[in-house]
Amino acid sequence: MMDVGLPEFMVLAIVAIFVFGPDRLPEVARQAAKLLRSARTTLSSARSQLSDELGPEFSNMDLSDLNPRSLVKKHLLDDLDDETPARPGHRPLAEGELAPYDEDAT
């Protein structure tokens, strides 16, 4: 979700010390933790309520599939990675080989 490494975390901690001060920082951290806990609880209850409302037909649905980027990647781009079989009677072109040209068709 959010890629915060050690250097970014240290910068955030230093900025927080300057903004809130060392006296108020523990209380702000407790409030932030409480806010995150309540947000997770709300999101998990909303997710379970959504799956209950949709019924058993959508029990295996992943909510990340509703993201348009993952939808396109899953249904369109994954097929490009597969080896597509050649049609009967046709062979793939060799490296540097030109496509067949039909004089009568043009």
Total count of domains within the chain: 1
pTM: 0.48
The answer to whether position 27 is within a domain reads: yes
The answer to whether position 33 is within a domain reads: yes
The reported pLDDT for the residue numbered 45 is 93
| CA distance readout (Å), 70 to 26, 38, 53, 74, 105 | 39, 27, 23, 6, 41
* Domain extent at residue 33: 6-79
The answer to whether position 23 is within a domain reads: yes
The answer to whether position 28 is within a domain reads: yes
The answer to whether position 30 is within a domain reads: yes
Instruction: Note down pLDDT in tens along the chain; length 106 residues.
Output: 567 788 998 998 899 889 988 899 899 989 999 999 999 999 999 888 888 887 777 777 777 777 788 777 777 766 555 555 556 777 778 888 888 887 888 6
The reported pLDDT for the residue numbered 33 is 94
The answer to whether position 87 is within a domain reads: no
For 56, other C-beta atoms within 10 Å of its C-beta total: 8
The reported pLDDT for the residue numbered 31 is 94
